[in-house]
Amino acid sequence: MDDAVGLVQVYLRLNGYFTVTEYPVLEALGHGQHRVATDLDVLEVRFAGAGRPFSMGRAREH
């Protein structure tokens, strides 16, 4: 992984994204064979509600 990919990955993770780097893209050749056509430098997904503070409700008073 080069420095630029690492920098983008850190930025995205800090902003609530799930990241995968160097993700291979496969090409089907037929007869059950495949080859790696290319790769994605960064694949990111952000789930609904990611990055928001999580609250368990009101704190109990003793």
| Residue 57 lies inside a defined structural domain of this protein | no
Tens digit of each residue's pLDDT (9 = 90 or more) over 13-62: 988 899 999 999 999 999 999 999 999 999 999 888 766 666 666 666 65
- Between residues 62 and 9, which one has the greater pLDDT? 9
User: Whole-angstrom Cα distance, residue 22 to residue 41?
Assistant: 5
Asked if 19 and 44 count as a contact pair (C-beta separation under 8 A), the reply is yes
pLDDT at 48: 81
| Full-model pTM | 0.63
Q: What's phi and psi for 5, nearest 5 deg?
A: -65, -40
| Residue 29 lies inside a defined structural domain of this protein | yes
The boundaries of the domain holding residue 39 are 3-45
| Residue 40 lies inside a defined structural domain of this protein | yes
Angle ∠(36,47,18) on CA atoms, nearest 5: 45
**Both tokens of residue 26?**
């496969």
Q: What's phi and psi for 55, nearest 5 deg?
A: -120, 135
pLDDT at 40: 92
